[in-house]
């Protein structure tokens, strides 16, 4: 998602659903937002401002990633 958004965008949407369930399609929304960042038009790469991943006792994981353009 950070280093190779073009490679991730080449993955068919149905593959995200197969690998991550119906919530996996949310990655497509993140790819759209990632495609709007300046580095894909020759600008500087984004900086990771915050990254968080947690799997609580319920085993429903949550992840956050904040990139600065």
Asked if the model's pLDDT at residue 24 lies above 80, the reply is no
Distances (CA, A) of 51 to 1, 22, 47: 12, 23, 11
> What is the number of domains present in the chain?
1
pTM assigned to the model: 0.68
Sign (positive or negative) of CA dihedral 26, 47, 38, 45: negative
Judge whether residue 13 has pLDDT over 90: no
- So what's the pLDDT on residue 17? 82
* pLDDT of residue 23 exceeding 80: no
Instruction: Give me the domain span that covers residue 43.
Output: 5-68
Which of 7-11, 19-23, 26-30, 50-54 has the highest average model confidence (pLDDT)?
A: 50-54
């Amino acid at each position: 998602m950070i280093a190779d958004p073009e490679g991730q965008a080449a993955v068919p949407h149905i593959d995200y659903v197969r690998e991550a369930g119906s919530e996996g399609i949310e990655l497509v929304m993140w790819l759209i937002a990632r495609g709007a960042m300046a580095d894909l038009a020759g600008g500087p790469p984004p900086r990771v401002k915050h990254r968080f991943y947690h799997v609580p006792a319920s085993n429903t994981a949550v992840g956050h990633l904040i990139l600065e353009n």
